[in-house]
Amino acid sequence: MQAMPKWADAVLIPLISILLAFFFSGLMIWAIGKDPVVAIQTMIQGAFGSTNGIGYTLYYTTNFIFTGLAIAVAYHARLFNIGGEGQVMLGGLGVALVCLAIDWPHWALALPAAMIGGAVFGAAWAFIPAYLQAKRGSHIVITTMMFNFIASAFVGYILLNYLKVPGSMSTESAGFSAGAHLPTFHEMLAPFGINFSKNAPANISFLIALLAAFGFWVLIWKTRLGYEIRSFGASETAAKYAGINPVRITIIAMMISGALCGLMAINNVMGEAERLIDNAPEGAGFIGIAVALMGRNHPIGIVLAALLFGFLYQGGAELTFWEAIPRELIVVIQGLVIMFTGALDNMVRAPLEKLFLALRKTKEA
């Protein structure tokens, strides 16, 4: 018997948690002498008020869907992949190498090739900590975290010594050729008579991200591999009893996770920057942890949570711009959302369960 209907568990609890987070965020804004109502209006206006705002919001959302799914795959095997950031960086390198390798005739050819490049590099980067965990027992939280720093240094080194345009002042690769240019929302929606902002970075990668979310669902709940990943995550001893190889599952789950992180690079490197820049992920690998947590490791939840964080990123940027609210406060707001939706889940859940039970009792009586 369930204490609460499913919709309450899936929708009501996160909603209340977010409202609580916004309430406390409002208090913070009020405390530094700004008007919380104006602030929230600015954020919503900035994130959803124009096609330009929507374009930026969905661009960030795309990043977070990829990393959120990546963290969630690993989590289904009870592996905490803290190395999303590094895997995205390596994915960026893979995408850049593919895009720079030849003069691509058309994006429809460049995109699949770049996807493979990003996924392979991301997966390879995740393989090392996965192998160390599976074979040597080195804790994956520690190794993946350290691999973020190694990735940063490594990609920086490659950029500076091999990919940088000679004579240029900035640490970035050459721009990709026109054939590797991905269709933006502006270009995609023009045939339908919709005039989407030309400057917004949202591009076809968003659809790839949604496809990845669907693929995630199939993988985890419809395939044998997903079944084995979930079994291993739920109980390692039971998995061993059933003849599921822990080494194999650890490595495969982490490589899928790394591949999804690497795929994110088609959005930020190929779709937006169109060249490889230093520190391209801008923290998306870490936001992915919050997104997976909030989305309860389910693709629908992850897409919605990614949208929320996309909104916070874009709306937050507007807030800094128009209201002179410091950038740091945006981080505080993000932190509050993570805290209320993830860490303080039971604070909302317990009283709500009681409420539903009481309601049921009065109905029965």
Phi and psi at residue 172, to the nearest 5° = -150, 155
Nearer to other proteins, 139 or 222 (CB): 222
Nearest C-alpha neighbor of 227 from the set 258, 249, 255 = 249
Would you say 122 and 87 are in contact if contact means Cβ atoms under 8 Å apart?
A: yes
Nearer to other proteins, 167 or 363 (CB): 363
In whole angstroms, the minimum distance from the beta carbon of 250 to other proteins comes to 15
In whole angstroms, the minimum distance from the beta carbon of 259 to other proteins comes to 17
In whole angstroms, the minimum distance from the beta carbon of 222 to other proteins comes to 5
Nearest C-alpha neighbor of 345 from the set 15, 2, 12, 17 = 17
Q: Which residue has the tokens 């339908």?
A: 192
Nearer to other proteins, 187 or 353 (CB): 353
Nearer to other proteins, 24 or 131 (CB): 131
Note the maximum CA span of the chain.
81
Nearer to other proteins, 160 or 218 (CB): 218
CA separation for the pair 180, 96 (Å, rounded): 10
In whole angstroms, the minimum distance from the beta carbon of 350 to other proteins comes to 10
Nearer to other proteins, 218 or 300 (CB): 218
Question: What residue type is 103 in one-letter code?
Answer: D
* Helix ranges, 49-196 (H): 51-76, 84-101, 107-131, 140-158, 185-189
User: Got the DSSP string for 142-156?
Assistant: HHHHHHHHHHHHHHH
In whole angstroms, the minimum distance from the beta carbon of 117 to other proteins comes to 24
Cα atoms in the Cβ-side hemisphere of radius 13 Å centred on 271? 32
Nearer to other proteins, 186 or 230 (CB): 230
Contacting residues toward other proteins, per CB under 8 A? 1-3, 218, 222-224, 227-228, 230-231, 234-235, 237-238, 240-245, 353, 357, 360
Would you say 125 and 87 are in contact if contact means Cβ atoms under 8 Å apart?
A: yes
In whole angstroms, the minimum distance from the beta carbon of 8 to other proteins comes to 14
- The two tokens of residue 245 are 């190889």
